[in-house]
Amino acid sequence: MQRSSYQDAVNTHSGEPAIHTYRLKFFDDRFGPHKDIEFKAATAAKAISIAQSEASNQSVELWCDGSSLCTLKRTNDGVWEIRSSANRSSSSGRKTFLLG
């Protein structure tokens, strides 16, 4: 039996949003050393919000339950650039989003 995306997003026992394990993988760059931070969040939006506050100016990869979601990087203009991972984007390549 195939589960719906709604069922995947909700804990079927309690009706509460499912909590996922996210991991931030920091790059070794001029802003800091390589490190990983693991945390729990109910949505990717919440995980991206946490990633932005943790990353400051450092580039990070955001993973969810063992799968790469995206890379976050702050531009010189202070805008967050979010690039979807190649394995999650369409056949045309990566998608880029900007958050100001």
List per-block mean pLDDT (blocks of 10 residues) for the chain, which spans 100 residues: 37 69 85 82 90 85 92 87 68 50
Task: To the nearest 10°, report the CA torsion of 44, 61, 100, 57.
Answer: 140
What pLDDT was estimated at residue 22?
95
Q: State both tokens at 64.
A: 């969810």
Kindly report the pTM of this predicted structure.
0.67
Instruction: Please check whether residue 24 is in contact with residue 54, taking contact to mean a CB–CB distance below 8 angstroms.
Output: yes
What pLDDT was estimated at residue 32?
65
Got the DSSP string for the chain? Answer: -PPPHHHHHB-TTTSSBPPEEEEEEE--BTTB--EEEEEEESSHHHHHHHHHHHHTTS-EEEEETTEEEEEEEE-TTSPEEEEE-GGGS-TT---EEEE-
CA distance 9 to 30: 37
What pLDDT was estimated at residue 90?
45
